[in-house]
Structure 1
Amino acid sequence: MLCQLSINNFAIVRFLELDFRPGMTSITGETGAGKSIAIDALGLCLGNRADAAAVRPGASKTEVSARFTLEDVPLAKRWLEDNDLELDDECILRRTITSDGRSRAYINGNPVPLSQLKAVGQFLIGIHGQHAHHALLKSEHQLNLLDSYANHKLLNDAVLAAYQRCRQVEAELESLQQSQQERIARKQLLQYQVEELDEFNLQAGEFEEIEVEHKRLANGTALIEDCQHTLALLSESDEGNIESLLNKAVSLAATLEGLDPTLAPIGNMLNEALIQVQESSSELGRYLSNLELDPEHFAFLEERLSKAMTLARKHHVGADKLHEHHRTLADELRTLDSDEEQLEELAAQVVASREAYLLQAQKLSQSRSRYAKELDKLVTQSIHELNMPKGKFSIEVNFNPELMGPNGSDNVEFLVTTNPGQPLAGLAKVASGGELSRIGLGIQVITARKVATPTLIFDEVDVGISGPTAAVVGRMLRTLGESTQVLCVTHLPQVAGNGHQHMLVNKHSKAGQTETTMQALDKEQRVQELARLLGGDTITSNTLANARELLAG
């Protein structure tokens, strides 16, 4: 419940500190006095946008704070706890706006973004404005009113979550489909390239081996001649060779070692050299005996080498990188194949997500239809009381599976007939301005009873209503005030007289400055104010008597 509202330097208010009590509080004042100024200031605490124009001329900043008790507001308490902003059983919302337009917001003394003021404010106050009956003509607003009355938030949340999931999967599918033509063209190219490389089937390291073997066979004749010449020099030449010369040297070294033992290492080195020459000669002989010049194999190698280099140029890679490139292309082709599978999977997910959405939307639609019948009776009863004795109200809920939105798949329309014999039709086609005001007010009061908001504000919602109907409206609001704190800005004495308490707004000018004030009225002051509302500037004994009757009622 709203306990206190403090306003400093807001518009034409210099300073106000207002204490509020349970029940219905009537707020009245002369036209132009600023009856809604407290509500406008309160709106700042609830996160409404504001600029430097909100600051009273000559002041450096505006400051507004609102204090609420939370004994019967568990949702607000839980929200404050979840956001580490709790303060016993109170909630203090504060807002400052400087003359250069900078704004700051606080919850229980902690700086917060405006979004958090709005978030907690929805649990604390509900505001019904004087133009609410105009919004009543909009289908979206009609849907919101029905949902507010039904209070099936879990169903609303389930539909929203299913809708968001559906849109997410559809977006993924659309993105994949948009690139499908490019993927198809790329896949066709890759299939041709991979098949060509598969057919060639170059193995890892094969190109290097081919190069070595091709070079050997290409130089076969030179290899044979040079090997034979080398063998002759090492061991086979009759005219003299290295092996025979080393044998002689080894023999001489043995003789020298006998003469001088210190020369033994030389003999050892010559022996090792002789062994190396003999092994080299033997190895070279084996190589030469195995060396074959196979023209057919050479032709095969030459063709394979040429093909490898041709493919490498075609793919703009080095021939030694061709095998790796082949693997890369094959991997990409497999990825594109998996994309096709993903496309099919996403298409199936879209179907499944739409079915899941429609299932939740149908549950929501069934709930709406059930509560629509309940609301039909209550609003019809209300408009009978509001001087439309032959009126009938009905809500039409039509489920349309083709209509998929975050709020479900329903078309909701408020229908009414105000005269006997007339068929039900849309509000805009049937109801006059005054009738629409009464219907709108009846719906607001009925839905307000179902919403667990501790404070409700009605800002001149009785526009277009007068006489006996105004008295009924007053009684409705007073009854609502028995269970919920109600603040009602009104110009009708029949409504104001039903308040449990009454506040008067005055505007006066002094020394070139205009200022609005607001004060609580005692019983006699209430009689004077109700008399003013009844009779204008001229207050007679009759108007005073009438005012006392209104107040007594």
Structure 2
Amino acid sequence: MLKQLYIKNFTLIDELNIDFHPGFSVITGETGAGKSIILGAIHLLLGQRADTRQIKEGRSKCIVEAHFDLSTCHLEDFFQNSNIDYDASDCILRREVSSNGKSRAFINDTPVSLTLMRECGELLVDIHSQHQNLLLQKEDFQMNVVDIIADDKPLLDDYKHHYADYLQAVHKYEEQKKIIAQNRDQEEFLRFQYNELDKANLQADEQESLESQVQTLSHIEDIKSALFQTTSLLNNDDNGAVNLVKNAADSLQNLVDVYPEIQDAAQRLESAGIELKDIADEVDHKLENIDFDPQQLQQMNDRLDELYSLEKKFHASGVNELIDQRDQLKQEIANIDCSDDFLADLEEAMSVAHDNCAKIGQRLSEARLHAAKKIEAEMHQRLVPLGIPKVRFSIDIQHTDCQPMGLDKISFLFSANSSTPLQPVAQVASGGEIARVMLSLKAMISGAVKLPTIIFDEIDTGVSGRVAEKMAETMREMAQQHRQVIAITHLPQIAAGGTSHYKVSKEETSEGTVSTMRELSEKERVREIAQMLSGSDISQAAIDNAQALLDAQK
């Protein structure tokens, strides 16, 4: 629950630090006093987009901070998965907005993204404002209410998993069907391309080998000349390098007996002579075997021209890429040849995925149907005391094919009297009736959702008198189920129902208009409620009436 709220430099608020209590609290104040400012600060804290216009004029930044007690919320996993320190007795959410447009968010002094702060806020506080009554027009909201009461999250998650598989199977089938249709349109061209590449008898790395051989043959005369010159220098009978080295080795070897220190040099020179002789023989052998065939060179150049032409035509960077394209064309042609069988297999897989999805969806529909009966009965029990004695509330569930949320199309039907046919609630209910329907729904689902704090912003629109008292009773009942309920109200009957009472007021100071909020004492509550009953001139009768309202709630 919300324990403490601190606001600084936010619109008309200089600095506000106020404690909140368990149970049912009410916030009152004249129109324009600043109740919406308090709510706006909480919205900012829960991840709403910041606006620099929210900073009090002349200040550099605004701060909103709240302390929550999470001891009954079981949120350890959320904090652990988010890598945030967890303190069940004091969880701190803080938001800072600077005049330069920068916004920072913190959870327990850890900087977090706005998305994460929003996720955390949705686990802590539910704010119901007047515009949320429009949710009754939306099918997904109505579906969500039924799912909450059905407690079908594991089943719904299972359905979504199978639905994703079904969508994937449909996509694969449709995509392949489209590809096959396109391929059939250009089948003749595909076969022509494949035959051209297949006829080329492409070999991996062939181009590199040919280019190397052509390079060699193109310089054959230079190669032969160099080999011949090398052979002459090595094998010349008189002054060839082989003979000169051999003679030098023999000379040193003759000195070994009289000059032992030269033996190592003599052996090394002898080894060099042997190596040199091997080199001379190898060069001579290459010279004898090298040959130039102009026809062979022409064939190689012709083959390279063929490969270069194919690469240009098929926009390939080399022979290996041409081979890949050839193989891909072969597969596409094979797909065309057996496309009917292939599509039949994909269609069967799609059918199986649909059946699996529908099977889970049927179980989900049964759970929703059971929950719908429960909702209808409870809504009747709640709406009759709220001043709609002839109310009829029904949930129409129409079955459809597999959809993202199941096989159901859900609509809340409503009639305030026995003579009017049931119609969608948003179309026939008055503003006051919609407010009571929404309050009843919130009261019903709050027990299932287990949100620690629920804030109602003028949920009492369009009601008064005895109905307002019953609405206060409903909110008190919600607050007794281990949660905190805060209502912003203009009605004295609801204000009297709170166990704690806060007043928002506005005053003029030397620095301009300032909004403040404080908790009222019992005596102050009497005067505030009396003023709500009679206006600015508080009569003794209004005070007595206010006291009676408060006494009736004890």
Same fold (TM over 0.5): yes
Corresponding residue number in structure 2 for 1:13: 13
- Is 2:457 the counterpart of 1:459? yes
Query: In structure 2, how many angstroms separate the alpha carbons of the residues matched to 1:416 and 1:85?
Result: 45
- 8 Å contact from structure 2 (residues 197, 326) kept in 1: no
C-alpha change, 1:110 and 1:316, in structure 2 (3 Å) is closer
For 1:439, which of 437, 440, 453 is the aligned residue? 437
- 8 Å contact from structure 1 (residues 77, 86) kept in 2: no
TM-score (norm 2): 0.74
Corresponding residue number in structure 2 for 1:497: 496
The one-character-per-residue Cα deviations of 1:252-295 (angstroms, maximum 9, x if unpaired) are: xxxxxxxxxxxxxxxxxxxxxxxxxxxxxxxxxxxxxxxxxxxx
Query: In structure 1, how many angstroms separate the alpha carbons of the residues matched to 2:124 and 2:197?
Result: 72
Corresponding residue number in structure 2 for 1:38: 38
Query: In structure 2, how many angstroms separate the alpha carbons of the residues matched to 1:159 and 1:462?
Result: 38
Corresponding residue number in structure 2 for 1:529: 528
Corresponding residue number in structure 2 for 1:96: 96
Query: In structure 2, how many angstroms separate the alpha carbons of the residues matched to 1:520 and 1:205?
Result: 86
Corresponding residue number in structure 1 for 2:236: none
Query: In structure 1, how many angstroms separate the alpha carbons of the residues matched to 2:416 and 2:201?
Result: 87
Deviates more, 1:182-191 or 1:407-416: 182-191
The one-character-per-residue Cα deviations of 1:64-95 (angstroms, maximum 9, x if unpaired) are: 11111111111x22100111102322321110
SS in 2 for 1:5: strand
Query: In structure 1, how many angstroms separate the alpha carbons of the residues matched to 2:423 and 2:328?
Result: 63
- Runs of 4+ in structure 1 displaced over 4 angstroms? 192-206, 307-318, 322-330, 337-343
Pairs within 5 Å for 1:239-258: none
Query: In structure 2, how many angstroms separate the alpha carbons of the residues matched to 1:312 and 1:474?
Result: 87
C-alpha change, 1:23 and 1:187, in structure 2 (3 Å) is same
- 8 Å contact from structure 1 (residues 194, 326) kept in 2: no
- 8 Å contact from structure 2 (residues 7, 63) kept in 1: yes
Matched letter for residue 144 of structure 2? N
Query: In structure 1, how many angstroms separate the alpha carbons of the residues matched to 2:189 and 2:305?
Result: 18
- 8 Å contact from structure 1 (residues 131, 461) kept in 2: no
* Structure 1: runs of 5 or more not aligned: 209-303
Query: In structure 1, how many angstroms separate the alpha carbons of the residues matched to 2:122 and 2:516?
Result: 28
- 8 Å contact from structure 2 (residues 76, 86) kept in 1: no
For 2:332, which of 333, 336, 345 is the aligned residue? 336
- 8 Å contact from structure 2 (residues 190, 333) kept in 1: no
1:538 Cα deviation from its structure 2 partner: 1.5
Corresponding residue number in structure 2 for 1:83: 82
Corresponding residue number in structure 1 for 2:420: 422
Query: In structure 2, how many angstroms separate the alpha carbons of the residues matched to 1:443 and 1:317?
Result: 70
C-alpha change, 1:16 and 1:314, in structure 2 (3 Å) is closer
Matched letter for residue 521 of structure 1? L
Corresponding residue number in structure 1 for 2:28: 28
Corresponding residue number in structure 1 for 2:257: none
Query: In structure 2, how many angstroms separate the alpha carbons of the residues matched to 1:383 and 1:169?
Result: 46
Query: In structure 2, how many angstroms separate the alpha carbons of the residues matched to 1:313 and 1:509?
Result: 87
Corresponding residue number in structure 2 for 1:290: none
SS in 2 for 1:131: helix
Query: In structure 2, how many angstroms separate the alpha carbons of the residues matched to 1:3 and 1:491?
Result: 24
1:429 Cα deviation from its structure 2 partner: 4.1
1:451 Cα deviation from its structure 2 partner: 1.4
Query: In structure 1, how many angstroms separate the alpha carbons of the residues matched to 2:406 and 2:320?
Result: 54
- 8 Å contact from structure 2 (residues 165, 353) kept in 1: yes
SS in 2 for 1:400: strand
- Is 2:534 the counterpart of 1:539? no
Query: In structure 1, how many angstroms separate the alpha carbons of the residues matched to 2:193 and 2:12?
Result: 80
1:356 Cα deviation from its structure 2 partner: 2.9
Query: In structure 2, how many angstroms separate the alpha carbons of the residues matched to 1:523 and 1:366?
Result: 51
Query: In structure 1, how many angstroms separate the alpha carbons of the residues matched to 2:82 and 2:46?
Result: 17
Query: In structure 2, how many angstroms separate the alpha carbons of the residues matched to 1:366 and 1:410?
Result: 10
Quick check: which has more Rg, 1 or 2? 1
1:410 Cα deviation from its structure 2 partner: 1.6
1:194 Cα deviation from its structure 2 partner: 5.4
Query: In structure 2, how many angstroms separate the alpha carbons of the residues matched to 1:204 and 1:434?
Result: 80
Corresponding residue number in structure 2 for 1:281: none
1:323 Cα deviation from its structure 2 partner: 11
Query: In structure 2, how many angstroms separate the alpha carbons of the residues matched to 1:479 and 1:313?
Result: 85
Deviates more, 1:23-32 or 1:365-374: 365-374
Query: In structure 2, how many angstroms separate the alpha carbons of the residues matched to 1:514 and 1:180?
Result: 72
1:367 Cα deviation from its structure 2 partner: 1.6
- 8 Å contact from structure 1 (residues 151, 451) kept in 2: no
Corresponding residue number in structure 2 for 1:126: 126
Matched letter for residue 85 of structure 2? E
C-alpha change, 1:317 and 1:376, in structure 2 (3 Å) is closer
Corresponding residue number in structure 2 for 1:551: 550
Query: In structure 1, how many angstroms separate the alpha carbons of the residues matched to 2:191 and 2:468?
Result: 82
Corresponding residue number in structure 1 for 2:264: none
1:315 Cα deviation from its structure 2 partner: 5.5
Query: In structure 2, how many angstroms separate the alpha carbons of the residues matched to 1:534 and 1:83?
Result: 49
The one-character-per-residue Cα deviations of 1:122-154 (angstroms, maximum 9, x if unpaired) are: 211111112332321332322223223334222
Query: In structure 1, how many angstroms separate the alpha carbons of the residues matched to 2:551 and 2:104?
Result: 45
Corresponding residue number in structure 1 for 2:508: 509
C-alpha change, 1:481 and 1:348, in structure 2 (3 Å) is same
